[in-house]
A = this chain, B = another copy of it.
């Protein structure tokens, strides 16, 4: 393991439960994120503006992405209609979310898991016709806030459906920030044999303080794609006041010491975290924002 690709998700997962902020402020945040050297950014979601007003400017945001030619941008969708809107807006990489627990799936998109998984094929077809890719993200892959622990078989079934439907990537997401290293290892081991050469990503929240430990376990298990959010944006509606996504800068700090390249500049990521916290007007922020980098060289 010598490199990990970090996808910054502050623009989508970080902002989606916040009060809406204006597009210009978002673009300043995007500028700061792209200045970190991060190679992938989840930039918005094409979902119901009434359910997620904070991301109602999705198409407008996409008009500015040409300014960052070195970054791979993706957008989240939750329906075939959303996928079409994203493709119309020029998005080249879709993320389609399927919750592995029925209760979360219904709360999130008004359909159960099976009904959501049944749409993968249509979304993949629409994307591929438009020369776009689809990553299937399996939400509540470890736990559901309503249904409790998610049986592994519910996750692997979605994985098999996604692979059969021609998905280009798979990701497993700890939507409510409950998982821990051993459970990460177990699920990665269960999923990997099913996906051939498809890239596998993982998405962790730090809600219970275990996000970085889980990310480290994922990397040990061979995961090379991790989501993270500058400033640790992305709190969970089921745990008010808790930490959000694992912070990009905290993850970079950890991986750097493990000799793992991310291409992300730590100081720039801390600055982007400050922009992120400023943009949303608060939040817990990241550990690196509070404590700063460690001293890297000894005194002569």
Contacts and interface: CB of A to CB of B under 8 A. Distances in A.
Q: Number of copies of this chain in the oligomer?
A: 2
A290 interface: yes
A178 interface: yes
B286 A254 contact: no
Contact of A298 (B148, B180, B210, B292): B148
A146 B286 CA distance: 23
A209 B147 CA distance: 29
Nearest to A181: B216
A184 to B, nearest CB: 10
A287 B288 CA distance: 17
A259 B182 contact: yes
Contacts of A216: 181, 213, 216-217
Nearest to A219: B181
A258 interface: yes
B298 A149 contact: yes
B254 A181 contact: yes
A145 interface: yes
A257 B180 contact: yes
Contacts of A82: none
Nearest to A182: B258
Given A180-B254, A253-B208, A257-B180, A239 B290 contact: yes
A49 interface: no
Interface string A155-184: 000000000000000000000111111110
A207 interface: yes
Contacts of A212: 209-210, 212-213
A105 interface: no
Given A181-B258, A210-B212, A242-B287, 10 more contacts: A145-B295, A146-B299, A178-B294, A181-B257, A206-B209, A208-B250, A209-B253, A210-B254, A236-B291, A243-B287
5 contacts: A149-B295, A151-B298, A182-B258, A183-B257, A209-B247
Interface of A: 103, 143-149, 151, 176-183, 206-210, 212-213, 215-217, 236, 239, 241-243, 247, 250, 253-254, 257-259, 286-288, 290-292, 294-299
